[in-house]
Structure 1
Amino acid sequence: MNQILIIDDDPAIQILLKRTLHNQGYEVFVASNGEDGLAQARQLRPALVICDWIMPRMNGLEVCRHVKATPELSTTMFILLTSLGSIEDRVKGLDAGADDFVCKPIEMAELQARVRSGLRLHQLSRDLQHQKHLLEMELAEAAEYVRSILPDRMTEPPVTIDARFIPSRQLGGDGFDYYWLDSDHLAIYLLDAAGHGLRAALPTLSVINLLKSRALPNINYYQPSDVLRGLNHTFQMTQRNDKYFTLWYGVYNRLNRQLTYASAGHPPAILFCGTPSSYTDAKLLKTAGLPVGMFLEADYVDACCDVTQSSTLYVFSDGIYEINQPDGSIWGLEPSYP
Structure 2
Amino acid sequence: MAVIRVELAGRGYDVQVGADLLEQAGTLARDFIRKDCVAAVADRNSHRHHGARLQAALAEIGVSVEWFITDPGEGAKSWDVLAKLADWLLERGVERGDHIFALGGGVIGDLTGFAAAVLKRGCGFVQVPTTLLAQVDSSVGGKTAINTSAGKNLVGAFHQPALVIADTATLGTLPPREMGAGYAEVIKYGILGDAAFFDWCEANGAKVTGRDPAALEYAVTKSVEAKARIVAEDERETSGTRALLNLGHTFGHALEAETGFSDRLLHGEGVALGMVLAARYSARRGYLSAADAGRVARAIAAAGLPSEIASLQLRCTGADLAAHMAHDKKMDAGTLPFILLRDIGEAFLDRSVEMSDVADFLTQELQG
TM-score > 0.5 by shorter chain: no
Into which bin does the TM-score normalised by the smaller protein fall? under 0.3
Which protein is bigger by CA-based radius of gyration? 1
Structure with greater proportional helix content: 2
Q: Which fold has the larger relative contact order, with Cα–Cα distance below 8 Å and residues 6 or more apart in sequence?
A: 2
